[in-house]
A and B are shown apart, each in its own frame.
Chain A
Amino acid sequence: MIPTTLTPGAFALSLTWGLPALTILVLALLPESRARLIRGVSLASALLNLALVAGLIAAWPAHRPPAGAEVPLAFAARLPWFSQPNISYFVGVDGLSLLMMLLAAIIAVCGVLVSWRIETRAKEFFIFMQVLLAGVFGCFISFDLFTFFLFNEVTLIPTYLLIGVFGSGRKEYCAMKLNLMLFAGSALVLVGLLGLYFASGLHTFDLFALAQVRFPADFQHWAFPALFLGFGVLGALFPFHTWSPDGHSSAPTAISMFLAGVHMKLGGYGCLRVAMFLLPEGAREWMNVFLVLSTINILYGAFVAVKQTDLKYINAYSSVSHCGLVLFGYAALNFLGLRGAVLQMFSHGLLTALIFAVIGMLYGRTHTRQLGELGGLMTRLPFIGVAFTLAALAGLGLPGLSGFVAELNVFLGAFAQTPLLNKVCTVLAILSIVVTAVYLLRTINKVLHGPPQEKDAGLKDADLAERAAILILLAGVILMGVWPRAITWLVDDALQPIVEQLAR
């Protein structure tokens, strides 16, 4: 039986979003002029949160529920909130949410580190960032779909302000586009969630109670695409990916890192956790459509990236391609495919954050992101150059780095599906390893190689904060690549119930 009071475990979980919320209060009280203090408080809060998540992961093996438990969560608690529509504050974690929280906590720390030089409106910047963090953590621990949705919406408002106020380029347009599209996605999700609420006959938003229900086929037929598409917009599903290149390119560095690294993963997480888990028959029925769409994602994103000349757009389209691999993994509808997709979320989160961080560092120094204006920077900025090269190699799936492990799982899962369409799509998806190599190596060549330019003579390599951010992200990328079991032990259990649902 799940406790209905705030147990210590549930309290610790709530702290993951409580800490950012508290930090907002502290920051709000600090005067605008104390930029250093503001940064310090933000970093301390992010580090505390990382320690908290690490502690939760360390404590998880001792608290994990037995296999086959009805609610396979640790530290679970369900506090009634609104009795009438039956909404509760239902929190808990399994390996999947822990992994996503770890990703968010790592990127939060690195995001603060790379924003060390922000001077103008630093207070607002860091406050909005904490709102974003609170929303994301709240999402990953919520298993009442209404609170889950609520936290998801919380993330959208600061996103708009962070891009619109602190961004670059056509920031107002891009912020508006991003928000409108994501709100449209949310609307679809809401429709789906209300459908679940009523069609189940239970009048509940409790995920695991809903999972016991066998929804009628005609309901699944329309509810699954609503939910999957709704979350898919956030996961950059083709053709609803178009907010992401614009949004990520005009956002400030730390926000690009967080948006592409964590926020987009909410979409992938929702697709898996809600749509596929609750509506397995709908998933089976619709998967061919999403298989084709995600294959297009992968190849199309890669081909568009080949043609881009702005570094941020290259990485943004690369993200479209790599996030396509997440949805592509789902489409395999088996354990390896799902696990590959989750691994890809984690791997891509670290990688894209790393690349956006590096791009931000290059832009901060050279004041350009155009390929044609960059060159020879390996000589001038060896540390950043090596980091960029490693990130690119990981992005093109080099074994020993994180991307390969994820791709291997996804492709093994996809290959186990026998229908011709799956085979064709898999071959096409694997073709992306060539196209990805083309645009990533081209970028590395243009930016880092060639004779050093005169105008870059005085540039300084990464400072301490930047080095720390790069090293933290790289450590994750290498660890996962060399010893994948360091990650898989966490997620394997969490995927079991979903795989069982799908096989139902």
Chain B
Amino acid sequence: MLTNGHLVWLILFAPLLAAAAIMLFTRRLPRVSAGLSIGAVVLGFVLSLKLFVAVLQGEAVVAPSVVWLDLAGWQLVWAATVDRLSALMLLVVTGVGATIHVYSLGYMRGDSGFARFFGCLALFMFSMLGIVLAANFIQMFIFWELVGVSSYLLIGFWFERPSAAEAGKKAFIVNRIGDFGFLLGILLIGALAGTFNFAELAAKWPALGLSSGVLALAAGLIFCGAVGKSAQFPLHVWLPDAMEGPTPVSALIHAATMVAAGVYMLCRVAWLLAASPEIMNLIAWTGGLTALMAALIAVAQRDIKRILAYSTLSQLGYMVMAVGLGATTEAMFHLTTHAFFKALLFLGAGSVIIALHHEQDIFKMGGLARKMPVTFVTFLIGTLALGGIWPLAGFYSKDAILLAEMDANRPLFVMALITAGLTGFYMARALIVAFLGQARDQKVAGHAHESPLVVTLPLVLLAIMSVIAGWHEEIPHFLKPDFHEHPHGVGILLGFLAIPLAGFLLAWLLYRRGPADDARLRSLLGPLYGLLENKFYVDEFYLFLVNRVQGGLAALCAGLDLVLVRGLGVGGVSGLARLAGWCVRLLQGGSLRFYLLATILGVAAFLLWIGR
């Protein structure tokens, strides 16, 4: 008899089976491959709905577990966590995943790697669901890394393009830096507590009586993992480059789900973070800083996917900030609504990109609204939702975060408000420049036409979710049945509404005439524009560091190996042997002249010694 517990494993392993089947058997059968992958994720979605209902009704779902590894005196048990948090996340991942899978049918049509694409997507779904269901830190880390590798494979999907291959590598390595801290943190916690299991740790951790320094160290190291995966400052640099991947990948992995895994993980281990107020503060400020910085950068970008990528960074910053202020429910709320509208925006951008034959510069677009009405309307909905306009989903979730921090941390609150205004501005800028006015480049945008149903249907579905996901605050109430928003008056909400609207208005004033380029903003901002355009030169700084520090260390080691170990060590020893051999050879070489010389020198030395 299949219980709900068994279904949990079915949800997890169906995509893995699909991925394996595609890789081993159906690489040359694109339709079958797509069918397998889509079948697995749709099955996952249906089963996740069933689980969701079960959890809602208060059923305790226990998945069968198995010992994976015996450790000295204890065991690593392979198990699943099914609670409100993971039930919601399962639904988001499989739901958004399913729409994006369908969309990919249209977007990837005719690509020579079609089957491989769906194979990698299935591998990604497996890894992501593994993170969601993980019952202990090691399981979490295992899937954490697997998500990283599927992201690597998908960013570098078009590996014949050097920029794509390079971006994949960068993403992996930057994530590894975060994971270095994460793994250290995991080992530290395991060594201190003697277990990796979340449920056991949650009960045990506060009772261990650890010093505040150790608590902060553990929490800080675990946070490192989230900084990498959720692309927070200073490890944010990989995400914009990850846009080299196909657009459905950007939507699914680099907007809706994987990058949110960091936030999800932080919510999962909230007990750990709560034990260290200093680290909570650090988390909040990291999030706030990332939110503001990314929003600023987005203002000066021209590539539609990069604008959305920086927007993702910024929104992730909101979530991390909320976690840092202890508002995990609000963070998960925003994570969910963001998954819908950001996936929608990316897919909309993808629809535009196919229509324009892979042109991504918004200043080559224009006038797309009439040619692509469905894409335009859904993109507009996504923009309004992201901007936080009532009554769309983003309004509710973003305001929940803003309200939570209004009293908790005033400076961060102000930063978040500025970010909200900037968000309104850069999204309206992208929308107005790309969709309104006249086509700037006839060759590119003149002959655009609406995408097929397989592309627009997912847009419509996601648009509906972006509208309704926030209503009645069902999501936070599900996560936390006694959820109450901070008390507030209508005036504050109107204020929250006015700020993004001001951003919209400013963009309207600047771009309504359909300027050919961004000259007005450039002159308005002066040198700041260059700074933003170049992303505060963080990448250049890292390049310098990599070349100087890592390159230097590597060169030092390689030089040492050549000079000291191989030269002086090996050469010295072999030289000594050769020298000894040369000396002995002189004695045995049969050279009369040398014998004579040695005799004379010997006699002389002897005479000197007696005559001393």
A65 at the interface (CB under 8 A from B): no
Cβ–Cβ < 8 Å partners of A433 in chain B:
176, 179-180, 183
- Can you list, as one digit per residue, whether each of B562-603 has a CB less than 8 Å from chain A (1) or not (0)? 001110011000100000000000000000000000000000
Cα separation A441 to B151 with both chains bound (whole Å): 14
A430 x B162 contact (CB < 8 A): no
Cβ–Cβ < 8 Å partners of B564 in chain A:
239
B72 x A306 contact (CB < 8 A): no
A258 at the interface (CB under 8 A from B): no
Complex interface residues of chain B between 177 and 195 (CB less than 8 A to chain A): 177, 179-180, 183-184, 187-188, 190-191
Cβ–Cβ < 8 Å partners of A241 in chain B:
565
Cβ–Cβ < 8 Å partners of A239 in chain B:
564-565, 569
B557 x A484 contact (CB < 8 A): no
Q: Which has the most chain B C-beta neighbours within 10 Å: A241, A334, A416?
A: A416
Closest to B16 in A: A400
B146 at the interface (CB under 8 A from A): yes
B240 at the interface (CB under 8 A from A): no
Interface-facing stretch out of A121-129, A194-202, A277-285, A445-453: A445-453
B569 x A393 contact (CB < 8 A): no
- Can you list, as one digit per residue, whether each of A313-345 has a CB less than 8 Å from chain B (1) or not (0)? 000000000000000000000111000000000
Cβ–Cβ < 8 Å partners of A451 in chain B:
160-162
Cβ–Cβ < 8 Å partners of B152 in chain A:
441
Given contacts A300-B557, A411-B183, contact A450 B162 (CB under 8 A): yes
Cα separation A300 to B165 with both chains bound (whole Å): 27
B169 x A303 contact (CB < 8 A): no
Contact among B143, B166, B172, B187 for A437, CB-based, below 8 A: B172
B142 x A399 contact (CB < 8 A): yes
Task: Say how far B115's CB is from chain A's closest CB, in angstroms.
Answer: 12
- Total number of B residues with any Cβ neighbor in A under 8 Å: 49
Cα separation A482 to B358 with both chains bound (whole Å): 40
B146 x A400 contact (CB < 8 A): yes
Task: Say how far A295's CB is from chain B's closest CB, in angstroms.
Answer: 13
Cα separation A197 to B237 with both chains bound (whole Å): 61
A177 x B570 contact (CB < 8 A): yes
A450 x B160 contact (CB < 8 A): yes
Cα separation A484 to B183 with both chains bound (whole Å): 19
B72 x A242 contact (CB < 8 A): no
B142 x A400 contact (CB < 8 A): yes
Given contacts A303-B553, A399-B145, A416-B191, contact A430 B169 (CB under 8 A): no
- Total number of A residues with any Cβ neighbor in B under 8 Å: 51
B570 x A303 contact (CB < 8 A): no
Q: Which has the most chain B C-beta neighbours within 10 Å: A430, A431, A441?
A: A441
- Can you list, as one digit per residue, whether each of A295-309 has a CB less than 8 Å from chain B (1) or not (0)? 000001001101110
Where chain A touches its partner, the secondary structure class is helix
B557 x A452 contact (CB < 8 A): no
Cβ–Cβ < 8 Å partners of A242 in chain B:
561, 565-566, 569-570
Given contacts A303-B553, A307-B554, A488-B70, contact A415 B160 (CB under 8 A): no
Contact among B156, B177, B191, B574 for A449, CB-based, below 8 A: B156
Contact among B67, B173, B557 for A304, CB-based, below 8 A: B557
Number of residue pairs across A and B with beta carbons under 8 Å? 119
Cβ–Cβ < 8 Å partners of B173 in chain A:
434, 437-438, 441
Cβ–Cβ < 8 Å partners of B550 in chain A:
306, 435, 438
Closest to B73 in A: A335
Cα separation A379 to B158 with both chains bound (whole Å): 11
Cβ–Cβ < 8 Å partners of A488 in chain B:
69-70
Closest to B27 in A: A382
Contact among A379, A412, A445, A452 for B71, CB-based, below 8 A: A412
A287 at the interface (CB under 8 A from B): no
Task: Say how far B137's CB is from chain A's closest CB, in angstroms.
Answer: 11
B191 x A484 contact (CB < 8 A): no
B141 x A448 contact (CB < 8 A): no
Task: Say how far A432's CB is from chain B's closest CB, in angstroms.
Answer: 9
B557 x A335 contact (CB < 8 A): no
Cβ–Cβ < 8 Å partners of A398 in chain B:
145-146, 149
Task: Say how far B19's CB is from chain A's closest CB, in angstroms.
Answer: 12
A215 at the interface (CB under 8 A from B): no
Task: Say how far B526's CB is from chain A's closest CB, in angstroms.
Answer: 39
Cα separation A377 to B188 with both chains bound (whole Å): 42
Task: Say how far A296's CB is from chain B's closest CB, in angstroms.
Answer: 10
Task: Say how far B201's CB is from chain A's closest CB, in angstroms.
Answer: 16
Cα separation A411 to B190 with both chains bound (whole Å): 11
A158 at the interface (CB under 8 A from B): no
Contact among B145, B166, B187, B558 for A303, CB-based, below 8 A: B558
A166 at the interface (CB under 8 A from B): no
A430 x B183 contact (CB < 8 A): yes
A336 x B72 contact (CB < 8 A): yes
Cβ–Cβ < 8 Å partners of B574 in chain A:
180
A485 at the interface (CB under 8 A from B): yes
Cβ–Cβ < 8 Å partners of B187 in chain A:
411-412, 415, 426, 430
Cβ–Cβ < 8 Å partners of B560 in chain A:
300
A442 at the interface (CB under 8 A from B): yes
Cα separation A143 to B570 with both chains bound (whole Å): 33
Cβ–Cβ < 8 Å partners of A448 in chain B:
159
Closest to B175 in A: A437
Task: Say how far A421's CB is from chain B's closest CB, in angstroms.
Answer: 16
Task: Say how far B70's CB is from chain A's closest CB, in angstroms.
Answer: 7
Cβ–Cβ < 8 Å partners of B177 in chain A:
434
A167 at the interface (CB under 8 A from B): no
A427 at the interface (CB under 8 A from B): yes
- Can you list, as one digit per residue, whether each of A366-384 has a CB less than 8 Å from chain B (1) or not (0)? 0000000000101100000
Contact among A180, A415, A434, A450 for B180, CB-based, below 8 A: A434
Cα separation A357 to B558 with both chains bound (whole Å): 25
A190 at the interface (CB under 8 A from B): no
Cβ–Cβ < 8 Å partners of A378 in chain B:
159
Complex interface residues of chain A between 423 and 479 (CB less than 8 A to chain B): 426-427, 430-431, 433-435, 437-438, 441-442, 445, 448-452
Cα separation A400 to B149 with both chains bound (whole Å): 11
Closest to A397 in B: B145
A165 at the interface (CB under 8 A from B): no
A32 at the interface (CB under 8 A from B): no
A404 at the interface (CB under 8 A from B): yes
Given contacts A484-B68, A484-B69, contact A308 B558 (CB under 8 A): yes
B555 at the interface (CB under 8 A from A): yes
Task: Say how far B296's CB is from chain A's closest CB, in angstroms.
Answer: 29
Cβ–Cβ < 8 Å partners of B145 in chain A:
397-399, 404
Q: Which has the most chain A C-beta neighbours within 10 Å: B160, B166, B561?
A: B561
Cα separation A25 to B71 with both chains bound (whole Å): 47
Cβ–Cβ < 8 Å partners of B444 in chain A:
none
A405 at the interface (CB under 8 A from B): yes
Given contacts A307-B555, A433-B176, A449-B159, contact A336 B146 (CB under 8 A): no
Given contacts A336-B71, A405-B69, contact A441 B159 (CB under 8 A): no
10 A-B pairs besides A304-B558, A411-B183, A434-B173 with CB distance below 8 A are A239-B565, A303-B556, A396-B176, A398-B145, A398-B149, A408-B69, A433-B183, A434-B180, A449-B162, A485-B70
**10 nearest A-B residue pairs (beta carbon):** A449-B165, A399-B142, A307-B558, A303-B557, A306-B554, A449-B159, A335-B72, A415-B187, A441-B169, A303-B554
Can you give 23 contacting A-B residue pairs, CB < 8 Å?
Answer: A239-B565, A303-B553, A306-B554, A306-B558, A307-B557, A378-B159, A398-B145, A399-B143, A399-B146, A408-B138, A411-B183, A415-B187, A426-B187, A430-B187, A433-B183, A437-B172, A441-B172, A445-B166, A449-B165, A450-B159, A484-B68, A485-B68, A485-B70
